[in-house]
Amino acid sequence: MTLRQIYYQLVTKGLNYRQVAYICKVGRLKGMISWNSIVDRARPIYSIGRTFETIEDFLQDIGDYFNLDYWIDSENHIELWTEKDALSQVLYEIAKEYHVTVRVTRGFLSLSNKKRWGKANLTILYFGDFDPSGLFIDKDLQWSQVGYQSFSRIALTKEQIATYILPSIKVNRLDPRANSYIATYGKRAWELDALSPNVLQKLVRDTIEQYVDFDLEQKEKTENEIREKIGNLE
């Protein structure tokens, strides 16, 4: 989880973000919290990637980079889109098992990426905040003429907020969409981060499996067989 996710899990405890960050810092330094339990995705690393000493070393490992297109013969073409970069890896941890792409919009998506990402017959499975701008992103994507066919908000929904009794925050009244949101939903808003990672990942798995119309085990078997053949190349 990111610090932001942990903060939204504790928002009802009266702690501010800096307090949560300090607690997590001390917890890790004292060995009370695993270093692998908290991630920082806000600072990217730029690298040429893995390097090799010889052609033989490369050929031994190249099979690991082969990925079969599981959906090539499927009637369904799906992708997961989310406005929250902090949650992208939580979603992708499950999506990658089905070779489903996860895209991060970072709020409202630019026109360039709407055009670049859009394609015919694409179904977008969307994960975003339940707040004035978060809900308007749905409309913005559905209004865009970029080629995809279907849009479905998977989370966050009003039903999920009630089911999991999620903590809320005050609506940002500086948001130009605040008044219309408050008139419909009231003065509280909810962040996608408030859902636990386990719940999010179950939503991802359950949703993707509704679209799977192929034998997943057979796809995995075929993929592994091809990887093995590539690994045996000399």
Q: What is the pLDDT of residue 232?
A: 77
The 10s digit of each residue's pLDDT in 133-176 is: 999 988 888 776 555 668 899 999 999 999 999 999 999 999 99
pLDDT by residue for the chain (234 residues), tens only, comes to 888 888 888 877 888 888 988 999 999 889 999 988 888 766 667 777 788 888 888 877 888 889 999 999 999 999 999 998 888 989 999 999 999 999 999 888 887 788 788 777 889 999 999 999 999 988 888 776 555 668 899 999 999 999 999 999 999 999 999 999 999 999 999 999 999 999 999 999 999 999 999 999 999 999 999 988 887 775
Nearest one of 135, 132, 127 to 171, comparing CA atoms: 132
Q: What are phi and psi of 213, to 5 degrees?
A: -120, 30
HSE-up of 147 (CA within 13 Å, CB side)? 11
Architecture of domain 71-213: 3-Layer(aba) Sandwich (3.40)
Nearest one of 40, 42, 10 to 169, comparing CA atoms: 10
Contact 178, 132 (CB under 8 A): yes
Q: What is the pLDDT of residue 42?
A: 66
Helix, strand, coil percentages (3-state) for the chain, rounded to 5, are: 50, 10, 40
Where are the domains positioned within the chain?
1-44, 50-69+214-234, 71-213
